[in-house]
Amino acid sequence: MMKIGLALGIDIGGTFTKFGFVDKEGNIFEEASLPTNAKDGVDVFLVRLYETIDRALVGLKDHAELKGIGIGVPNGNYYKGTVEYPPNLAWGAITPLAALLRQQYDVPTFLTNDANAAALGEMKFGIAKTMKDFVLITLGTGLGSGIVVNGKLVYGADGFAGELGHVNVNPNGRLCGCGKKGCLETYASATGIKRTVSKLMADMTVESDLRDIPYNQLTGNMITEAALQGDKIALAAFEYTGRILGLKLADTVAHLSPEAIILFGGLTKAGAWLFDPIQKHMEENLFPIFKNKVKLLTSGLEGKNSAVLGASALFWHELEKETM
Ligand SMILES: [Zn+2]
């Protein structure tokens, strides 16, 4: 009997690590997750990860073959296969994570940051299947991005290209987790819109249910829900967020001339309340030759296990590069 070839896609986040075994068409055969326990050292983490993966492998062994591994992880260096100074993990300076997994499972292993993996997932299994030039923006706790040019992910000289979350909006603006002031992600992300809501509550006098929620308990989802109910503060916050993001995306278009910009993450559930201001302010600020050409889209993988699909897509993408 022919065995099905599967890629193991692993997404390592600050809170949870998810993985799944995915075939070339994007069907997920087994999936599981475990708490990352960000305070654990990487050795302790890997023991737990291997145990959980091995349990999932038992059910697959008879009819499937593990071909390779793709990993999406914060500060993942694609060229070196290392995780370097991850912001939310107590792993120390540099972890040769790809080499460790390769040793454990004896298959080719690749890693990159989570937003790059998401872009590859979109190209292999999502809305960008027919595209060769696009930018994927993830609006989560921070703002991540993956840039695809001529069918290839852009890694840059050191493997870290595409950090749009840290382009500058205002040199005297909000303090960012990276130490700079006024980075895009301090405005356009779940955390950023929360900061905006807080500022608008101080500046505006309108009623809002959001006023009853303590700052530490306020989430991007709550703001999205409030906007969908017509809450004035939430709507103003989405307008503000969309204006800043649209302005900076106009710069991105000038650099790359993408066919589309794809937005991903919980905030996109606000739909037109988010997309309309982005589109308006992007178009207003575009260099004329780019006007009315760039599509603004929402992810084709929302609601699916997109992180795992993206990580597995990294492996399948590498395999295709070899056979091209
Ligand atoms: Zn920053």
Residues 138 and 114 sit within 8 Å (Cβ to Cβ)? yes
Distance (Å) from CA 161 to ligand 1 centroid: 14
Distance (Å) from CA 167 to ligand 1 centroid: 7
Q: CA angle, corner 145, sides to 143 and 146, nearest 5?
A: 165
Distance (Å) from CA 246 to ligand 1 centroid: 18
Tell me the mean pLDDT in the region 167-179: 95
Residues 6 and 65 sit within 8 Å (Cβ to Cβ)? yes
Distance (Å) from CA 164 to ligand 1 centroid: 9
Distance (Å) from CA 175 to ligand 1 centroid: 8
Distance (Å) from CA 212 to ligand 1 centroid: 30
Residues 152-166 have pLDDT tens digits of 999 999 888 999 999
pLDDT at position 249 is 98
pLDDT at position 244 is 98
pLDDT at position 141 is 86
pLDDT at position 86 is 87
- Tokens encoding 146: 């993956």
Does position 283 have pLDDT exceeding 80, yes or no? yes
Using pLDDT thresholds of 50, 70 and 90, give the confidence band for residue 2.
confident
Question: How far is residue 117's CA from residue 103's CA, in Å, rounded to a whole number?
Answer: 22
Q: Residues with beta carbon < 5 A to ion ligand 1? A: 166, 176, 178, 180, 183
Distance (Å) from CA 177 to ligand 1 centroid: 6
Distance (Å) from CA 82 to ligand 1 centroid: 21
Does position 323 have pLDDT exceeding 90, yes or no? no
Question: How far is residue 316's CA from residue 279's CA, in Å, rounded to a whole number?
Answer: 33
Distance (Å) from CA 178 to ligand 1 centroid: 4
pLDDT at position 324 is 59
Task: Please write down the long-range contacts of 206-214, taking CB distance under 8 Å and 24 or more positions apart.
Answer: 206/232, 206/233, 207/232, 208/232, 208/233, 208/234, 210/234
pLDDT at position 316 is 96
Question: How far is residue 248's CA from residue 255's CA, in Å, rounded to a whole number?
Answer: 11
Question: How far is residue 273's CA from residue 253's CA, in Å, rounded to a whole number?
Answer: 22
Which amino acid belongs to residue 223? I
Distance (Å) from CA 142 to ligand 1 centroid: 9
Distance (Å) from CA 222 to ligand 1 centroid: 24
In sequence order, the 6+-apart residues with CB closer than 8 A to the CB of 294 are: 253, 258, 259, 260, 261, 282, 286
Residues 175-221 have pLDDT tens digits of 998 899 999 999 999 999 999 999 999 999 999 999 999 999 999 99
Residues 291 and 98 sit within 8 Å (Cβ to Cβ)? no
Residues 254-271 have pLDDT tens digits of 999 999 999 999 899 999
Residues 45-70 have pLDDT tens digits of 999 999 999 999 998 988 999 999 99
Distance (Å) from CA 90 to ligand 1 centroid: 20
Distance (Å) from CA 126 to ligand 1 centroid: 29
- Tokens encoding 55: 């349990």
Helix (H) or strand (E) holding 47: helix 42-58
Tell me the mean pLDDT in the region 85-92: 87
Question: How far is residue 182's CA from residue 150's CA, in Å, rounded to a whole number?
Answer: 31
pLDDT at position 262 is 97
pLDDT at position 16 is 93
pLDDT at position 231 is 97
Total Cβ atoms within 10 A of residue 70: 32
Residues 124 and 146 sit within 8 Å (Cβ to Cβ)? no
Does position 91 have pLDDT exceeding 90, yes or no? yes
Q: Calculate what percentage of the chain has a pLDDT beyond 90.
A: 87
Arithmetic mean of pLDDT over the chain? 95
Distance (Å) from CA 113 to ligand 1 centroid: 16
Distance (Å) from CA 281 to ligand 1 centroid: 22
Q: CA angle, corner 309, sides to 14 and 5, nearest 5?
A: 125
